[in-house]
Amino acid sequence: MADEKVALITGGSRGIGRSAALHLAQRGVGIILTFNTHKEDADAVLAEIKEKGGKAVALQLDMTKIVSLEVFTMYIAREFASRKIRANIIAPGALDTQFGGGRTDQIRKMIADHTLQGRIGNADDIGVLIAGLLSDDSRWINGQRIEATGGVGI
């Protein structure tokens, strides 16, 4: 079907990527997720999506070999725009995820004190943002680096 949407999610086995994959699949978007070393986690995400009737595949890919994800995103946006394929990159602020070994309560409070939201963000805060970017309401957003920090430093 020409109108079927598919999302490529880098790092889709855990944290933000997992959340985005699940939110997008729930909205009927097909998922291609990449993982580097966490195959079991990727398989669990695939199983959860498929269990709910969604379509998903996982590819092992070391994204650290791509020099700049931002440059890669801009390249994809430019090259595939004529096919109505959009590419954006999210720059999340400090989040309460496993990335970097997690956060202590003291660090969580320090971060929360510097956000307009008064709390530290989580993977679902970014996952729903990514899902929203794939809606037709966001059709004009392409080739962008989107800051999602909860208002840090304002």
Domains of the chain in start order, with CATH, are 6-93+123-148 (3.40.50.720)
Mean pLDDT for all residues in the chain:
90
**Cα 76 off chain centre by:** 16
Predicted TM-score (pTM) of the model is 0.82
Among 71, 151, 78, smallest CA distance to 112 is for: 151
d(CA 102, CA 140): 35
Is there a contact between 9 and 129 (Cβ–Cβ < 8 Å)?
A: no
Dump pLDDT digits (tens) for 98-125: 765 667 888 889 889 999 999 988 989 9
Helices (H), the chain: 15-26, 39-51, 69-80, 105-113, 123-133
Indicate whether 62 pLDDT > 80. yes
The stretch 80-103 carries a mean pLDDT of: 84
Distances (CA, A) of 148 to 62, 81, 83: 24, 24, 27
DSSP state of 81: G
The Cα 61–Cα 11 span in angstroms is 9
Beta bridge partners of 7: 31
pLDDT at 100: 57
Mean pLDDT lowest for which of 2-6, 30-34, 86-90, 144-148?
Answer: 2-6
Contact 147, 91 (CB under 8 A): yes
Which residue has 């679902």 as its token pair?
A: 124
